[in-house]
Amino acid sequence: MTEAEDPSHNRLKHHFAQRVIHQARQVLEVWQRLQQREWNTADMAALNDANLGLLRYAERFGQAEHARLAGDIDRSLQAVLANRGRLSSDLISALSQAMQRLSRTGLRHGDQFEQTFLPPLRKPVYLALQDLERAERLAQQMESFGLIAQPLDSAAAFHSAMAERHPAAIVMDVDFAGRGCGLQLAETLQQGLEQKLPLLFYSHEDTDAPTRLAAVRAGAKEFYSASLDASSLIERIEILTHAAHYEPYRVLVIDDSRAQASHTERVLNSAGIVTRTLTEPIQAMLELAEFQPDLIILDMYMPECSGTELAKVIRQHDRHVSVPIIYLSAEDDLDKQLDAMSEAGDDFLTKPIKPRHLIATVRTRAARARSLKARMVRDSLTGLYNHTHTLQLLEDASSWARRDGKPLSFAMLDIDHFKKVNDTYGHPMGDRVIKSLALFLKQRLRKSDHIGRYGGEEFAVVLPDTDAATAARLLDEIRRRFAAIHYPAQPHDLSCTFSAGIAELGAGVHSSSLAKCADQALYAAKHGGRNRVAIFAE
């Protein structure tokens, strides 16, 4: 019997893998807590201890990828110590990227860890629905997306599951185990927990304001009524349970005083906010294009130009019109402060300012700005970038690829026979398939890739630092796995496929023609039989 055929050997490998994954989860949970407050010595020590445990287990049990990532995290943490505990933008970014890579290990179907029998990184999701059949169908769909879900059929089953293991999230019917009992069950549960669990409530009928208020008080993160759309639910659970999805806020500080700018940078870095400083206001537009900040902190009085003048210049550019601008100045004349805010500003903070006040203001403003920007540039059905913004991202990526001499690929995807899906199963099913593919792409592509809904059933993907051959292999694997998903329907389950066309920048393909060339490749894939990936060839 070979090693691969030895059941005891496989069980041992599984056990070792679980130990490593458990420790990786601890690292990510500490990292998630850090995003909610200022980073202090105790938090950094807890992160360091958890990561050293991961490094030790990964090396002991032969998990090379986890060992490498733990090593990357350790080097960043040691750099913080060498910097006398001070965080810098580079260190925050390095830690964030390492955590994002760590979170993806063992999570996705088709990655290199599938052969080592690693379980999903996250805890299960408990489905406490009155309709057990609905819960079981939902659990099956979640499994296709790498999530594990446990349907529960009674309050006793729920209590038993909670006693055995706390879940990553709970989907709770307000009437689970009786009229209004789900709300009571959830409220009682949360009262005994130090760290509240994410709760998503569902009601099969429209609910009144008191019911929704009770859900909020029980800790509801979302409330679904009438219908429970699987794709939307899965995506929301992804956001709530995936710790390393967090991307640090980016702040640009423009101040002619290097000392003041450095002080502001240190304060924001201490809270895990990536900060860049600029002491020459005239360079602001170049820095904005490169850095793409979530928020700008602007000195009011500078010799080259005033803060209000620079704010007006920034607001003349459509891409920066919604970026919050906060004036930070020693000016204490209220009338002058109000005049400054009327000139393209959003807030005014007076020096000296307490660090906690500055951090709280920046976080609140940046969070709101991200939310508003998402509504402006994203497709409402899928949450992907809309057509216009996708092309803008392609233009930016093309400029950077030419500047850095790196490859860039652009792909267009189209769901096969989509009209037949709508005609046979109805438009709600068509929307469900579209949202399903959108989530599938988000799960399996890199954070640096840009995914857009190009229109209808057509998608587009910008793949920086990727040649056409690599892009084709990646999308072909996604195509194959997407085709294996089944959607419960009548008279029989539905499955869908997609075709894709890829074009690479260079070799006669200019940035202005990338979309056209990818579209031609997609046309070739469609006419070649569909359910395939084609690369543009002149």
First to last CA, the chain: 52
Question: Worst-scoring range by mean pLDDT, 63-67, 142-146, 161-165?
Answer: 142-146
Q: Is the bond preceding 491 in cis, omega lying within 30 degrees of 0?
A: yes
For residue 171, the 8-state DSSP code is E
The answer to whether residues 139 and 268 belong to one domain is: no
Q: What is the pLDDT of residues 429-460, one digit of tens each?
A: 898 889 889 888 987 888 789 999 998 999 99
Average pLDDT over residues 513-531: 92
Looking at the fold, whether 414 and 476 belong to one and the same domain comes out as yes
What whole-number percentage of the chain has pLDDT above 70?
A: 88
pLDDT in tens, 387-419: 988 998 898 889 888 888 899 999 999 999 999
Per-residue pLDDT tens over the stretch 174-229:
889 888 888 888 888 888 777 778 899 988 877 778 888 888 888 888 888 877 76
For residues 69-84, average pLDDT: 85
Of 26 and 104, more confident:
26
Q: What is the pLDDT of residues 419-434, one digit of tens each?
A: 999 999 898 889 888 9
Reported pTM = 0.61
Q: Which of 10-14, 21-25, 88-92, 461-465 has the highest mean pLDDT?
A: 461-465
Question: Which backbone phi and psi does 451 adopt, to 5 degrees?
Answer: -115, 130
Q: Is residue 381 part of a domain?
A: no
Residue 320 falls within a domain, yes or no?
Answer: yes
Q: Average pLDDT over the chain, rounded to whole?
A: 82
Given a cut of 80, whether residue 121 has pLDDT beyond it is: no
132 assigned to some structural domain: yes
CATH number of residue 167's parent domain: 3.40.50.2300
Task: Report the alpha-carbon distance of residue 450 to residue 333 in Å, rounded.
Answer: 45
Same domain, 176 and 230: yes
Report yes or no: 202 and 170 within 8 Å, Cβ to Cβ: no
Among 34-38, 91-95, 336-340, where is mean pLDDT lowest? 34-38
pLDDT digits (tens, 9 = 90+) for 471-505: 999 999 999 989 988 877 777 788 899 999 999 98
Residue 382 domain-assigned (yes or no): no
pLDDT of residue 12: 58
Residues of the domain holding 46: 3-116
* β-bridge pairing 498-504 and 458-464: unpaired
Residue 212 lies in a domain: yes
Closest CA to 177 of 161, 160, 163, 157: 157
For residues 531 and 396, state if they share a domain.
yes
Q: Say what angle helices 7-34 and 41-60 make with each other, to 10 degrees.
A: 170
Active site residues: 457
Based on the fold, state whether residues 235 and 264 are members of the same structural domain.
Answer: no
Q: Which amino acid is at 498?
A: F
Number of domains, the chain: 4
Residues 451 and 348 in one domain: no
Residue at a domain's end among 241, 266, 289: 241
- Judge if 391 and 531 occupy the same domain: yes
Max avg pLDDT among 499-508, 510-519, 522-531: 522-531
Residue type, 391: L
- Tell which phi-psi region holds residue 508, choosing left (phi > 0), alpha (psi between -120 and 50) or beta: left
Whether 60 and 40 share a structural domain: yes
* 3-state class percentages of the chain: helix first, strand second, coil last, to nearest 5: 55, 15, 30
Q: For residue 115, is pLDDT > 50?
A: no
**Nearest C-alpha neighbor of 95 from the set 17, 32, 40, 37:** 32
Inform me whether the pLDDT recorded for 106 exceeds 70: no
